Chains A and B, each alone.
Chain A
Amino acid sequence: MIDLIGYGAFFLVTALIFGVLALGLNLQWGQTGLFNVGVAGFAAIGAYASALVTTPDAADRFGGFGWPIAAGWLLAMVLAGGAALVVGIATLRLRADYLAMTTFGIAVTIQVVALNATALTGGPFGIAFIPRPFAGLAENPLAFNVANLALTGAVTLGLFLMLETLTRSPFGRVLRAIREDEAAAASLGKNVNAYRLQAFALGGAIMGLAGAMQAHFIGFIAPDNYLSILTFQVWAMLIVGGSGNNRGALIGALVVWALWSLSSLAVGSLVAPSYQARAAALQIVAIGVALALILLIRPRGLIGERATVSRDVESVPGAGADPGARERTGMPADKT
C-alpha cells in the first residue's frame, strides 16, 4: 500500500511536469495559434541550463557552479524564453507552416548539440548528479516522492492560476482575437507581431521550466530524453485534453501519461524480453493512430475550449456570448 502511494506520487509528479509543458504549449497554440513543433528543444534548453549551473563542480565539462535549484529554474526560464524570442523574431511574421518547420529545426539542432558538444553537455552520457529537491528525504522513497509532489503541485497550481488570469485578461483576449482573425485584430490597432512574440516567448519559458523541473526530479539528463517523441507526447496531451483550455491541458497530460505508462507496463510485463523493443515500437504506432483518430472523431478533445467572452459583451443582449452560434473546433482557422 505504501509502495503504491509512493508510486502514485511519482507518477503524478511526472504527469504534472508534462502538464506544465502542455500549459506552455496551450498558451502558444491553444490561445494564440502558434504552431510549435519544437517543445522538446525548449524543454532541453531549460533542463541543460539548470543542470549546468546547479551541479557540483565538474572537471570534464563546463559548468558545475553549485547554484541553488530555484536559481537554476529561473535561468532555465530565461534561456528557453530567450530562445523562443529569437525563433519568434525570425519566423512569426511568416506563415504558420514556417514556424512549424523552424521550431522542428531548432529542436533537432539542440538535440544534436546536446549529443555532440561534449565539453558543454557531457555528450551522449548526459549530466548526472543534478541536485534533487528534498534530496535529504531520498532514503525514504515515500516521503521523497510526496514532498516532490507537493512542490510540483504547488508550481503547477501557481502557473495554472496565472495562466487562467491571463486567459481572462485583456491580453488573453487579444491573443485569441489574433488566433481567430489576424487581420481584424490588426485593424483594431493591436500590434499582432508583438503580442505573438510575447505569447511565444512566455510559452517557451514555461517549457524551459518544465524541462528543468524534470531534470531535477530525475537527477539525470541525456540527449535521448529530448527526441521528437517528447514533442509528440505533449501535443497528444493538449489535443486529447482540449486545446485552448488550461484545465484540458492538465487533464490531457494526466490521461495520456497514464495510458502511456500503462501500455509501457503491459509491454514490460506481458512481452518476452527479446521482443520488447518491437512491442514498444507497436505501442508508439498505437499512440500515433490514437492521436489521428481523436483529430478525426473529436477534434475538440475531452474538454474543448469554453467560450470566453468579455462580461461587457455578455451583458449586451443578443451580442456574442453564444458558443453554439459558430461551430468551434478548438482549432484556429487556417491562415492561408
Chain B
Amino acid sequence: MSLQFLADGIFAGALIGLGAVGLTLTYSILRFSNFTHGDFISWGAYLALTVTGALAGTLLPAARFVPFSFGWPLVVGAVVAMALTGLLALALDLALFRPLRRTGHGIVMVIASFGASLALRALLEFLFTSEPAYFSRAIQIAMPIGLGIRVTPDQAAMMGLAVIVVAAMHLLLTRTHVGRSMRAVSENPALARVVGIDVAAVIRATWLIGGALACVSGIMLGLTVQIRPQMGFDLLLPLFAAAILGGIGSVWGAILGGLVVGIGEAAAVQFVGSEYRAAVAFLLLIAMLLFRPRGFFGVREG
C-alpha cells in the first residue's frame, strides 16, 4: 500500500484543523455551533481570488514564483482576504448574533446561523455563479519526497503557511492580553466579566481570528482543488467532527482533530471511494460521541 494517503491526509487535516479552530473558538466563547463557519471558508477563498485578480498585472506583476503556481498577488491577496473574512464574520455578529445574544437563547443562534449560512452561500452563487473558479491553471508537478510520497510545490507552501499561522495563533493566545482574555472567557465567562475583562473585545477578536483562519483554510482548498460556493459548506461536517474529536473549546485539540479526520478520510477513501468522504467524517464523529464525547482534550462541559 502506498503511503501517499498520509501526505494527502495531513494536508487535508491541516486545512480542516485550521477551519475547526475558528469553530471551536466561537463555540467556547459564544457557546453555539456556528453553521456559517463553513461559508466563511468559501467567502475567504472567493475574497482571496477577487483581491488577487485585482492586484495581478495592475499593482503587482502577475509573474509566479517558480515552482509555485502563485506569485506576489496571492501573497498580498491572502493577507487582505484574511482581514476581510474576519471583518465579514464581525459584521455578521453585529447584524445578527449580537442582537440574538441579548435574548439569551443559544439554540436560536444556531437556527439563525443555519439561515445565515444558506444566505451567505446563495450570495456567493449570485455573485460568482456556481461555475468552479481557480487561483491558477498552472500545472503542478508533484515532487517525490521519499517513501513513495509525492507532494506538489503548492501543497508544500500551504503546509508551511499553516504551520506559521498556527504558531502565530499560539503566541497570540499565550503571550498577548487579548489571547489570555479569550482563554479566561472560554473557561468561565461570568468570572471573566467580574474581573473586568472586556468581553465585547474578546468576542470581536474571536470573530476576527476565526474568520482569518477560515480564509487560510479556503485558500489552501482553493489552491489544490477548485473554488466553488459550496466548498466550505461541504467541509462543515469534517469541521464539526474535528472540533468534537479534539474536545470542543480546545485549539490544539481542533488541530489534532483535523489531522485525525483528514488522515482518517484519506485512509478510508482507499477502500470505499472518495465519494463517501463525508460519510467517513460522520462515522468518526458518531464513534467519538459514543465513546468519548468530550474529545481528546475536552474539558468539563460548562
Contacts and interface: CB of A to CB of B under 8 A. Distances in A.
Contacts of A282: 122-123, 126
Given A102-B285, A281-B123, A331-B108, A296 B115 contact: no
A105 B104 contact: no
A285 interface: yes
A96 interface: yes
A259 to B, nearest CB: 14
B122 A104 contact: no
A292 B112 contact: yes
Contacts of A239: 111
Nearest to A238: B111
A96 B107 contact: yes
B244 interface: yes
B126 A334 contact: no
B118 A284 contact: yes
B5 interface: no
B149 to A, nearest CB: 28
A96 to B, nearest CB: 6
B105 A109 contact: no
B27 A97 contact: yes
B99 interface: yes
A209 to B, nearest CB: 24
A290 to B, nearest CB: 8
Contacts of B100: 295-296
Interface stretch (A48-56, A111-119, A188-196): A111-119
Contacts of A35: 107, 110
Interface string A10-34: 0000000000000000000000010
Contact of B129 (A96, A278, A289): A278
A226 interface: no
Nearest to B110: A100
A162 B289 CA distance: 34
Contacts of B273: 116
Given A90-B289, A101-B285, A334 B114 contact: no
B125 A281 contact: yes
B217 interface: no
A239 B100 CA distance: 15
Most buried by A among B106, B129, B236, B244: B106
B148 interface: no
A287 B118 CA distance: 9
A109 B33 contact: no
A188 B111 CA distance: 31
Contacts of A102: 285-286, 289
A229 interface: yes
User: Secondary structure at chain A's binding surface: helix, strand, loop or mixed?
Assistant: helix
A284 B111 CA distance: 16
A36 B79 CA distance: 37
Given A109-B282, A229-B118, A288-B119, A296 B111 contact: no
A235 B302 CA distance: 28
B276 A112 contact: yes
Contact of B119 (A231, A235, A285, A333): A285
Given A105-B281, A288-B118, A116 B99 contact: no
A329 interface: yes
A331 B105 contact: yes
Given A35-B107, A285-B122, A112 B33 contact: no
B126 A281 contact: yes
B42 to A, nearest CB: 13
Contacts of A96: 106-107
A191 B233 CA distance: 37
Contacts of B126: 278, 281-282, 285
Contacts of A108: 237, 278, 282
Contact of A285 (B106, B114, B123, B279): B123
B31 interface: yes
A236 B107 CA distance: 14
A104 B38 CA distance: 13
B103 interface: yes
Nearest to B31: A336
Contacts of A46: none
A94 B233 CA distance: 24
Nearest to B286: A90
B105 A113 contact: no
Interface string A29-67: 000010101000000000000000000000000000000
Contacts of A287: 118-119
A24 to B, nearest CB: 16
14 contacts: A97-B27, A98-B244, A104-B35, A232-B114, A277-B129, A278-B129, A281-B122, A281-B126, A292-B115, A296-B99, A329-B103, A334-B104, A334-B105, A334-B106
Given A101-B285, A278-B126, 18 more contacts: A35-B110, A90-B290, A98-B289, A98-B293, A101-B240, A102-B286, A105-B240, A232-B118, A278-B129, A284-B118, A285-B119, A285-B122, A287-B119, A288-B115, A288-B119, A295-B115, A296-B100, A335-B106
Interface of B: 27, 31-33, 35, 96, 99-100, 103-108, 110-112, 114-120, 122-123, 125-126, 129-130, 233, 236-237, 240-241, 244, 273, 275-276, 278-279, 281-282, 285-286, 289-290, 293, 301-302
The 3 closest A-B CB pairs, nearest first, are A288-B119, A284-B122, A334-B106
